[in-house]
Amino acid sequence: MGEDLLSQGDIDALLQGLEASAPPAAAAPPPPPAAAAPAPGPAAPPPGAAAHVLRAAAAIADTATADLGRKVELSQVAVSSRPGSTATAAVKVPAVIFYGGSPGGGFLLAIPKDMGGRISDIKMGGDGSKPPETFSDLYISAVTEFANLITGSFFTALGTGGVTNPQTLIAETAADLANLPLARLPGCSVITGTASIQNLMEGEWIMIMGEQPAAPAHAAQPAPVSPAETRPVQKVEFGSFETAPAPEMPANLNLLLDVPMNITVELGRTKMTVHDVLNLGSGSIVELDKLAGEPVDFMVNGKLIAKGEVVVIDENFGLRITDIVSPMERFRGVI
């Protein structure tokens, strides 16, 4: 039994023989090459004010609908940035231009002249089917009031100040826009789109706002500290203050709506001497300063607020209004 035992030397010899006869171990496969990083795509545009401006522009349609009593829709609204000269050159003429100052350095709203005429016709009591060939002061006042309303709602939604020193211009040629301060600004935000007025018309509009560059930020330099001068301090006592009430609209405004007013329709005027007046009799003809077919004056408490045409209603005379001032001007003029 003892002869079958293997010595340590025999065991080592057997192990070496097994290692020599074993097939070589397969080399570990090289690690796959690292996948190439994908090429970077175009950088996402930085978050800007475009979306905010588009949301604010949507407020224009709601205000216009409420003011005109017709559904107004805006479509294909887009925002871009251009130099002022390029932006104003994009305005299609003839157009009604409402412009003024703004926090960014300037503001302009342009709508087609025909659309502005139809809007003013609606504002003056018409149905928008008879836009004026030429804009009188009454028509300009009406379309200016409309522009004030919609731009006010736009800037309110935008959360910034509104238009300062607003003016209205009827631009017949591109040269009428070249001298506007907005045309000299280095950068402007331009909002374009299409506006449709229910059962009336559709047209392109453009809004331009100046982009005032931000002032560079400078590190605040500490002001030199001068030694404090000791002075006697006396306690100041203030009387109690009460909050002053904010000015309010007249609470009894509704009471004024029932106040009777003197209405006069004036066909015309003339001047006569005392001799001519004494010679008047049945059949005498007095020539007035109004031409045949010229609108007559509609006066409230002696103040002119409208013009119109004389019509016959059953057995009575009446007046069809053709030109009228805005409701606010009527209120200021007769109250």
Which pLDDT value is given to residue 96? 95
Please give the average per-residue pLDDT across 2-31, as a whole number. 52
Domain boundary pick from 192, 210, 228: 210
At 54, is the pLDDT very low, low, confident or very high (cuts 50, 70, 90)? confident
In a domain, residue 129? The reply is yes
Residue 203, pLDDT > 80, answer: yes
Which pLDDT value is given to residue 310? 82
Mark whether 183 and 274 lie in a shared domain: no
Half-sphere exposure of 152 (CA within 13 A, CB side): 10
Radius of gyration over every alpha carbon of the chain, rounded to an integer in angstroms: 41
Residue 318, pLDDT > 80, answer: yes
In a domain, residue 279? The reply is yes
Please give the average per-residue pLDDT across 8-28, as a whole number. 52
Q: Which residues contact 27 (CB under 8 A, 6 or more apart)?
A: none
Q: How far apart are CA 119 and CA 204, in angstroms?
A: 14
Which pLDDT value is given to residue 158? 80
Backbone angles phi, psi at 116, to 5 degrees: -60, -40
The sign of the dihedral angle between the CA atoms of 133, 137, 141, 142 is negative
Which pLDDT value is given to residue 41? 36
Give the pLDDT confidence of 261-286 residue by residue, as tens digits. Answer: 788 888 888 888 888 888 888 878 88
At 18, is the pLDDT very low, low, confident or very high (cuts 50, 70, 90)? very low
Mark whether 84 and 189 lie in a shared domain: yes
Which pLDDT value is given to residue 1? 45
Mark whether 194 and 272 lie in a shared domain: no
What's the DSSP call for residue 314? T
Residue 98, pLDDT > 50, answer: yes
Q: What is the DSSP string of 182-235?
A: GGG-S-EEEEEEEEEETTTEEEEEEEEEE-PPPPPP-PPPPPPPPPPPP-----
Q: How far apart are CA 12 and CA 17, in angstroms?
A: 9
**Which CATH number goes with the domain that contains 194?**
3.40.1550.10
Give the pLDDT confidence of 24-50 residue by residue, as tens digits. Answer: 544 555 555 544 444 433 333 334 456
Q: How far apart are CA 55 and CA 36, in angstroms?
A: 42
Domain boundary pick from 166, 195, 210: 210
Residue (of 144, 122, 139) closest to 67 by Cα position? 122
- What is the domain extent for residue 308? 263-332
Mark whether 65 and 148 lie in a shared domain: yes
Which pLDDT value is given to residue 105? 80
145 neighbors 331 (Cβ within 8 angstroms): no
Residue 298 or residue 108, greater confidence = 108
Residue 168, pLDDT > 90, answer: yes
Give the pLDDT confidence of 108-158 residue by residue, as tens digits. Answer: 999 999 999 999 999 888 899 989 988 988 899 999 999 999 988 888 888
Residues paired with residue 318 on neighbouring β-strands, in sequence order: 311
In a domain, residue 256? The reply is no
Which pLDDT value is given to residue 178? 85
Mark whether 199 and 274 lie in a shared domain: no
Give the pLDDT confidence of 209-266 residue by residue, as tens digits. Answer: 987 654 444 434 545 555 555 555 444 444 444 444 433 444 455 566 667 778 888 8
Which pLDDT value is given to residue 218? 44
For residue 251 the two structure tokens come to 């609470």
Mark whether 269 and 182 lie in a shared domain: no
Residue 52, pLDDT > 80, answer: no
In a domain, residue 226? The reply is no
Report the SS3 class of residue 257.
coil
**Which CATH number goes with the domain that contains 300?**
2.30.330.10
Which pLDDT value is given to residue 64? 92
**How many domains does the chain divide into?**
2
Mark whether 205 and 269 lie in a shared domain: no
∠ CA 270-276-277, nearest 5°, is: 80
| Cα maximum dimension of the chain | 175
- Integer angstrom CA distances of residue 290 from 232, 268, 304: 80, 5, 15
Domain boundary pick from 175, 192, 210: 210
Mark whether 141 and 202 lie in a shared domain: yes
57 neighbors 74 (Cβ within 8 angstroms): yes
